Amino acid sequence: MSDLTRLMSQISVGGVDGGAMGIPAEVQHFIEKLTFADPDDIWDSLQASLAEDWMALPVWARNLAFRLLCLQRPDDAEILGQAGSDLLSFGPDWDEFAEKLMARSEELKTKKQE
């Protein structure tokens, strides 16, 4: 069983925090809004949040936001580059992913110049 499958199972049966989900309503609302947000809204919100206080947004929230944004805009060099740089700031666990994002960003920039 993969770690993701195990975690999904725990959440499904309420096996977090001694049987309670323990997720604040604000976090649940954020996840729901982010899941269905327009990519422009995600990008603008990330830029505003990170400009206001670069360290204030929890790493899990910024990773999720960047991940959803990259999935919606897989050919946007600026987004991929910033997502990669952001991951490098919180590694080293994610350095491999960060390097792939940054390499893809550079590849797209090179293609655009040709």
Tell me, yes or no, whether 7 lies in a domain: no
Tell me, yes or no, whether 86 lies in a domain: yes
pLDDT of residue 75: 96
Q: How many domains does the chain have?
A: 1
Between CA 5 and CA 21 the distance in angstroms is: 17
Q: What is the DSSP annotation of 47-73?
A: HHHHHH-TTTS-HHHHHHHHHHHHHH-
Tell me, yes or no, whether 63 lies in a domain: yes
Please say whether the beta carbons of 101 and 83 come within 8 A: yes
Mean predicted confidence (pLDDT) in 13-42: 80
- The pLDDT confidence band at residue 20, using thresholds 50, 70 and 90, is low
Tell me, yes or no, whether 101 lies in a domain: yes
Tell me, yes or no, whether 64 lies in a domain: yes
Tell me, yes or no, whether 68 lies in a domain: yes
Region for 69 from its dihedrals, namely left if φ exceeds 0, alpha if ψ lies in -120 to 50, beta otherwise? alpha
For the chain, give the number of residues: 114
pLDDT of residue 37: 96
pLDDT in tens, 48-93: 999 999 999 999 999 999 999 999 999 999 999 999 999 999 979 9
Mean predicted confidence (pLDDT) in 11-25: 64
Tell me, yes or no, whether 13 lies in a domain: no
- The pLDDT confidence band at residue 7, using thresholds 50, 70 and 90, is confident
Domain that holds residue 64: 24-113
